[in-house]
């Protein structure tokens, strides 16, 4: 079994275990580095507002653009009238609204995936071949927007960044860790990974990193539930580092220097 498959199975099992038992508190280590020594970029995520909806502002009313039937489904991606059923333009709504979800960090991933498949069947460009240019254009935009919404909400990090964005909070492209204990913990894991020589040693590093990443996710859920967006912002910055280290673990090569960049 490959290292990546072993790591994936280990992480899945760890998440299931933590859902039943609380993670023991990990004692912080003393800082040996100054905050400016580690920075991280966030160009993997940008403003995810529905830009394409601006070009269809005339269609933002909740009714079908062709038959004017009221659109009552949360997604509003297509007309629900059987004899019409045309794909609608992208509307100015959140990604959560697209899937009929209440805004929150905890997302029912299985249900969202099922909804995603059903909606794509309704709006995919392949399903409107031979229809009007207008509807084909709407289908292209809706399918693209639906893919983007799904990819953002299915991942805890991009979901957190998106939720902060909805509340007017953005993390700059170059963000520093200012907590000295957290900074030291990140550097310790980085050093352990760089010095690892075997798959077993890498898996031990991954186990530590996964615990920290999952703890940050639990903290984000609590912060967003309480409307504590400053705390959510701090935890999102932290999660970026654990997520970044996780990617470095997947690409681990003995003796290779670890660069914490997106």
Residue 97 neighbours by CB distance under 10 Å = 16
Q: What is the mean pLDDT of residues 100-129?
A: 92
From 47, 52, 246, select the one nearest 161 (Cα to Cα).
47
Say how far apart CA 32 and CA 18 lie, in whole Å: 30
Q: What is the mean pLDDT of residues 169-183?
A: 82
DSSP state of 197: -
Say how far apart CA 114 and CA 145 lie, in whole Å: 17
Say how far apart CA 127 and CA 120 lie, in whole Å: 9
Domains of the chain: 3-20+27-42+171-250 (1.20.1280.20), 51-161 (1.10.287.110)
Percent of all residues in the chain with a pLDDT value above 90, rounded to a whole number = 44
Q: Mutual orientation of helices 109-123 and 133-154 as an angle, nearest 10°?
A: 170
What is the pTM (predicted TM-score) of this model?
A: 0.74
Say how far apart CA 156 and CA 104 lie, in whole Å: 11
* Confidence band of 125 (pLDDT split at 50, 70, 90): confident
Residue 19 has pLDDT above 50, yes or no: no
Beta carbons of 215 and 223 less than 8 angstroms apart: no
* Confidence band of 177 (pLDDT split at 50, 70, 90): confident
Number of alpha helices (DSSP H) and beta strands (DSSP E) in the chain: 8, 2
Question: Reduced to 3 DSSP states, what percent helix, strand and coil does the chain have, rounded to the nearest 5?
Answer: 55, 5, 40
Residue 24 has pLDDT above 50, yes or no: no
Residue 55 has pLDDT above 50, yes or no: no
* Confidence band of 18 (pLDDT split at 50, 70, 90): very low
């Amino acid at each position: 079994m490959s290292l990546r498959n072993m790591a994936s199975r280990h992480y899945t099992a760890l998440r299931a275990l933590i859902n039943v038992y609380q993670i023991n508190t990990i004692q912080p280590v003393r800082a040996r580095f100054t905050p400016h020594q580690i920075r991280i970029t966030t160009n993997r995520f940008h403003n995810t507002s529905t830009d394409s909806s601006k070009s269809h502002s005339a269609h933002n009313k909740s009714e079908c653009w062709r038959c004017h039937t009221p659109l009552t489904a949360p997604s509003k991606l297509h007309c629900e009238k059987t004899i019409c059923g045309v794909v609608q333009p992208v509307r100015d709504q959140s990604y959560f609204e697209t899937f009929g979800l209440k805004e929150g960090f905890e997302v029912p991933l299985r249900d969202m995936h099922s909804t995603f498949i059903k909606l794509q069947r309704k709006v995919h460009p392949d399903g409107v071949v031979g229809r009007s240019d207008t509807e084909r254009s709407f289908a292209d935009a809706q399918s693209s927007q639906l893919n983007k919404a799904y990819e953002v909400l299915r991942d805890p990090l991009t979901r957190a960044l998106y939720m902060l964005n909805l509340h007017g909070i953005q993390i700059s492209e170059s963000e520093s860790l200012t907590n000295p204990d957290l900074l030291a913990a990140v550097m310790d894991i980085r050093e352990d990974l760089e010095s690892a020589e075997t798959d077993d040693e890498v898996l031990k590093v991954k186990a530590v990193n996964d615990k920290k990443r999952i703890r940050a996710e639990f903290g984000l859920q609590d912060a967003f539930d309480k409307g504590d967006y400053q705390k959510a912002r701090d935890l999102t910055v932290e999660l970026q580092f654990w997520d970044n280290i996780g990617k470095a673990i997947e690409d681990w090569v003995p003796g290779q220097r670890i660069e914490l960049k997106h």
